[in-house]
A and B are shown apart, each in its own frame.
Chain A
Amino acid sequence: DQQVKQNSPSLSVQEGRISILNCDYTNSMFDYFLWYKKYPAEGPTFLISISSIKDKNEDGRFTVFLNKSAKHLSLHIVPSQPGDSAVYFCAASAGSQGNLIFGKGTKLSVKP
């Protein structure tokens, strides 16, 4: 049973517009959520995170929103740039020693 779901395998956005990547989770024990970005032939790199005590975290062009009641989080990228084209993974953990559970990823393509 998949505990972290990214239901959109791919997303295409025009440069300058907003990219919204979605993630749903089923485990109510998850209390920390992260987004990773992965380019081909490279390992994933950490992008932004949010604790369950918050509902929003912002870092430059990247904002993550958490809706605990809906068990849903989203990553907003504004404005989108061609260099943002990558696979984005949502991840979650439960407790300070819980391992990270990843979604299957969403491939974002930002067109010039």
Chain B
Amino acid sequence: KAGVTQTPRYLIKTRGQQVTLSCSPISGHRSVSWYQQTPGQGLQFLFEYFSETQRNKGNFPGRFSGRQFSNSRSEMNVSTLELGDSALYLCASSPDRGLNTGELFFGEGSRLTVL
């Protein structure tokens, strides 16, 4: 069974640009969560999607947005990039956060560098 796939793995952007990251969950998983990992802050929750609906949202500004498609694939977008947005963005999937025990399966992440 293929794991969670994130693309691109690495990217470099400049301040003010926007970026879109993609995540393909494990087949059959309907919930997709996004996290930002930075050296000083650990993993911070961005948002969770289930059946194309945003079910939970963390404390990030509106520049961070996401969506989920009918095949459960998800994208997150960051507009007007700032230097502080440089981080590893992790996507995680699970069969159904409402029914299971909360275990998440993570992808390898997309490393974003903002110059």
Contacts and interface: CB of A to CB of B under 8 A. Distances in A.
A and B bind: yes
Interface of A: 6, 32, 34, 36, 41-46, 49, 51, 89, 91, 93, 96-105
A99 B56 contact: yes
Interface of B: 4, 33, 35, 40-45, 48, 55-56, 58, 90, 92, 97-99, 101-109
B108 A43 contact: yes
Contacts, number: 60
Contacts of A32: 101-102
Contacts of A99: 33, 45, 48, 56, 58, 97
Contact of A89 (B42, B99, B102): B42
Given A96-B98, A100-B104, 18 more contacts: A41-B108, A42-B108, A43-B108, A43-B109, A44-B43, A45-B106, A49-B101, A49-B102, A97-B55, A97-B97, A99-B33, A99-B97, A100-B102, A102-B43, A103-B42, A104-B40, A104-B41, A105-B42
